[in-house]
Amino acid sequence: MNSTERELLKLIEKNGRLETGTIAKLMGITEDETKQILDKLEKEKVILGYSAIIDWTKGTEEGAVTAMIDVKVTPKRGVGFDKVAERIYRFPEVKAVYLMSGVYDLSVSIEGKTMAEVGRFVSEKLSTIDSVISTTTHFILKKYKHDGLVFSDNDEDKRIVVSP
C-alpha cells in the first residue's frame, strides 16, 4: 500500500462521510484519482464498509445494552477455533468476535435492547454450542470511548474568536 492510499484510509477512518470531492481537495489529488483508489481498496477488501459510531443511549433504546462475553471453547480437530468462531459470528446479535490469548479463548461482543435479551442469547444460543465450555458475561455500564471516539459532549471549541 502506498502513502496516498494510507492517507486516504486515515481520512475516512476518522470520517466515513467525507465526500469524494472533499477528500480530493484535502489530499491535493483529483476526484477521479480518489474514486479509483476507493474502488481499488474496496475491491481488495481493505475497506470493508462505512459505518457510523452511534451513542445509542441517547434517545433510543435500540442496541442500548452491550455485553462482552469471555468464552472458553474446545477447539475442533483440523479447524481449530475458526469453525466455532464462525458459528458464533454468524448470529446477527454478535457485533465482534476475537480469538484471545490468556485464560479464555474467544471474546464476543453482543448488543441487545435489554439485559434480558442479551441473557437469553447467552443461555440459549451461545452456551448451547457443543464446543463452548463456559461463558462469563460482562455488561458494559457506560461507554467513555469507542473506536477512538470519546462519548462526551465536552468537545466545543474553547478558543476565542479572533486571536493573534
Partner 1 sequence: MITEPTSKYLSNTVQSIQPSGIRRFFDLASSMENVISLGVGEPDFVTPWNVIEASYHSLEQGYTAYTANAGLFELRKEISRYMKRRFGVSYSAEEEIVVTVGASQAIDIALRAVINPGEEVIVVEPSFVSYAPTVTLAGGVPVPVNTYSEDDFKLQPEQIEAAITDKTKVLMLCSPNNPTGTVLSKGDLERIAEVVEKHDLLVISDEIYAELTYDEPYTSFPAVKNMRDRTILISGFSKAFAMTGWRLGFACGPKPILQAMLKIHQYTMMCAPTMAQHAALEALVNGQKDVVKMKESYRQRRSLVIHALEEMGLSCHVPGGAFYVFPSIEKTGLSSEEFAEQLLMKEQVAVVPGSVFGESGEGHVRCSYATSVQKLEEAMRRIDRFLQTL
Q: How many residues bind partner 1 (CB under 8 A)?
A: 16
Q: How far is the CB of 4 from partner 1 (least distance, A)?
A: 12
Q: How far is the CB of 158 from partner 1 (least distance, A)?
A: 8
- Three-state secondary structure call for residue 123: helix
Contact window for partner 1 (CB under 8 A) among 15-23, 75-83, 96-104, 137-145: 15-23
27 binds partner 1 (CB under 8 A): yes
DSSP character string of 119-152: HHIIIIIITTSTTEEEEEEEE----SEETTEE--
Among 15, 74, 114, 123, binds partner 1 (CB under 8 A): 15
Among 5, 9, 12, 18, binds partner 1 (CB under 8 A): 18
CA 18, CA 159: separation in Å to the nearest integer?
25
- Three-state secondary structure call for residue 133: strand
1 binds partner 1 (CB under 8 A): no
**Side chain identity, residue 142:** K
Q: How far is the CB of 35 from partner 1 (least distance, A)?
A: 17
Count of residues making up the chain:
164
CA 153, CA 108: separation in Å to the nearest integer?
29
Q: Which residues bind partner 1 (CB under 8 A)?
A: 7, 11, 15, 18, 22, 25-28, 157, 159-164
